[in-house]
Amino acid sequence: MGEGLASVEVFELVAEPWGSLAGEARRLRELGHGRLVTYSPKVFIPLTKLCRDVCGYCTFARPPRRGEPAYMSEDEVLEVAHAGAAAGCREALFTLGDKPELRYRVARDELAARGCTTTLEYLARCARLVLDETGLLPHVNPGVLSREDALALRAVSASQGLMLETTADRLAERGGPHWASPDKLPAARLATIEAAGEVGVPFTTGILIGIGETRRERLEALLAVRELDGRFGHVQEVIVQNFRAKPGTRMATAPEPPLEELLWTCAAARLVRRRHQRLGRHLSGHRRPRQPGGALARAAAPGRGNPFTRPRAGASACCLSRVRRRPRSLARRRCHAARVGARRRRGPRARGRVGGGCTRGVRERREPAGAAGCRAF
């Protein structure tokens, strides 16, 4: 697949329209994957919605509410996980705010009542519980991590993730989208991706477009991810996410990036990395234009599926396909989870690195044209 464009060549893309990049982006896609679009059925487990950061566009995080617990209980976590497994999900995606115990006393008190001192400690306990009780593969998005944190979570999760979002420090200045959000500083997030690579954690990251960054700054972020992946080879997915203005946030009236900017960034990302990246999911409100060079895959019409895997209205083309295949990364995750369990059963003397490059279980399923829904297989 090559090493991607040189840095000097990358920045020459800034002035190019997306249509001029689409042909080469399509060639790289078909060279690596053909017209297959992959997905992994997963159930979301929002362990806590408390967060010490106050990003200007976020609707997930919220302050404590009287009478409501700060964290999901272990029974609640298992209830959601079992429902997801019954619906055909393969993964349990743990979402949570970043280090809420550093800001909220209620978080510290509740963690202490559960026998934990940090949110990450409680996350590890719940991830192990889901893995043992349901067989779902935990994927954790825990926020900024140290090397020790990433290593501890590796024992109970198939993969981890953290959106880099941007390398532009100016967006964390007063009035910017990342003002008063210490965990959104680019240096801290790059250090987390590096730490994950040092301990061999399969990792998902990505960039967020439309929050005030320039095209050049997007390319700088993609180059930073490419450099880290070149050193460790652990980045399994790069997401290109488009900003959506949401009521009740500081950026509720901020302009959203046009679809052409999302398409340009996706095409540029493929040229930078020479690998696969997933598109942002929040495309509602956009009409897909004619696609010079066919940079994006054609989507099948959404239909009935189980509630844990059916895409929302406006989901991107990457959610659906007429040809489906279980991703190789998912097969490796299943092997990783099996090794986690085997290592635990062997006891404390077991040695060797958890995880590996197993690709068993990869299979292809072809469905008739117009097949509806994202069904588990």
Residue 206 has pLDDT above 90, yes or no: yes
Nearest to 261 by CA among 224, 302, 217: 217
Dihedrals phi, psi of 226, to nearest 5 degrees: -60, -40
276, two tokens: 């696969």
Asked if 297 contacts 318 with a C-beta cutoff of 8 angstroms, the reply is: yes
Q: Report in angstroms the alpha-carbon separations of 29 from 82, 296, 320.
A: 36, 9, 16
Q: How far is CA 340 from CA 124, 264, 361, in A?
A: 13, 40, 17
Cα end-to-end distance, the chain, whole Å: 29
Q: Which helix (H) or strand (E) holds 328?
A: helix 328-346
Distance CA 184, CA 40 (A): 27
Which tokens go with 109?
């008190």
Which of 202, 204, 223, 238 is closest to 340 using CA atoms?
A: 202
CB atoms within 10 A of CB 196: 29
- 48 DSSP β-pair partners: 96
Q: List the beta bridge partners of residue 208.
A: 241
pTM, two decimals, is 0.76
Q: Judge whether residue 239 has pLDDT over 70.
A: yes
Helical segments of 55-103, H only: 74-86
Residues present in the chain in total: 377
pLDDT tens string 150-203: 999 999 999 999 999 999 999 999 999 999 999 999 999 999 999 999 999 999
User: Across residues 291-311, what is the average pLDDT?
Assistant: 33
Domain ranges of the chain: 1-36+147-292+311-320, 38-142, 322-345+352-372
Distance, in Å, from the CA atom of 203 to the CA atom of 163, rounded to the nearest integer, reads 10
Which helix or strand (DSSP H or E) is residue 268 part of?
helix 259-273
Report which of residues 7 and 284 the model is more confident about.
7
**Mean pLDDT of all residues in 77-83:** 98
